[in-house]
Chains A and B, each alone.
Chain A
Amino acid sequence: MNFDKELDARGLNCPLPILRTKKTLAELTAGQVLKIVSTDPGSVKDFQAFAKQTGNELLSSTEGGGEFTFFMKKK
């Protein structure tokens, strides 16, 4: 999937992946896509909740090799 910016949130624990995502999204313009890679298993549910509450669209959420990858489209 194409993306405009990538955020490496590996090794960070709650709530840092969400806080860094919020900060990084602020640098993008509406419609641009942010890729986030995390190692926090709690982030799967958290990114769904973040998308639902902020209106940014979670395009995909995948898991593999102990890493969680998210693509989020800025509102």
Chain B
Amino acid sequence: MSKKLAIIASKGTLDWAYPPLILASTAAALDYEVEIFFTFYGLQVLRKDVNGLKVSPLGNPGMPMKMPFGPKWFQSINWNIPNAIQGVIPGFESLATVLMKQTIANNGVASIETLRDVCVESGVKIIACQMTVDLFGFEHSDFIDNIEFGGAASFFEFAGESDITLFI
């Protein structure tokens, strides 16, 4: 019998959209049975259009701010911009997101859409939390096909017999 992995995905930024999708797709490749329960901001990862996913350097001192283009010496500079300045520059998050996406492409890292497609194709079961769908005013038509809608009880039905359970 195959092992089981249950994940709760609760984050809705570009960077944090990766861990649940990387782990789920890899586990599926290792013949795990996988289920991801997307709740709260995690719902953003299931929207048909994921261009709204952004990365925010604000309040995130662990995030290196480096340029994904230019000569090597230029790319190695860490642009340490204080939060107080980041916070008042209009479009700072959009700029950081553009740079992040370029860095992702430069490093041969898969896009969110690609990883999500692999998950669906390899049989990862995706459940969207109906309560937060209502709370945030989403419609079922906002989300990709091949997902189910349910609540906490449906998560436990699978998680209760899982070998690994992660909250991300």
Hey, which bits of chain A sit against chain B, CB under 8 A? 11-16, 18-19, 21-22, 39-40, 50, 53-54
Contact = CB atoms under 8 A, between A and B. Distances in A.
Contacts, number: 36
Dominant secondary structure at the B interface: loop
B110 A16 contact: yes
B22 A50 contact: no
B26 A15 contact: yes
B30 A14 contact: no
- Which residue, of A14, A15, A50, has the highest number of chain B Cβ atoms within 10 A? A15
- Which residue, of A13, A16, A21, A54, has the highest number of chain B Cβ atoms within 10 A? A16
A15 B30 contact: no
Given A53-B31, A54-B31, A19 B108 contact: no
Given A13-B107, A13-B109, A14-B22, 9 more contacts: A12-B108, A13-B108, A15-B22, A15-B29, A19-B25, A19-B110, A22-B122, A50-B30, A54-B31
Interface of B: 22, 25-26, 29-31, 107-110, 118, 122
B104 to A, nearest CB: 9
Contacts of B30: 50, 53-54
Contacts of A54: 29-31
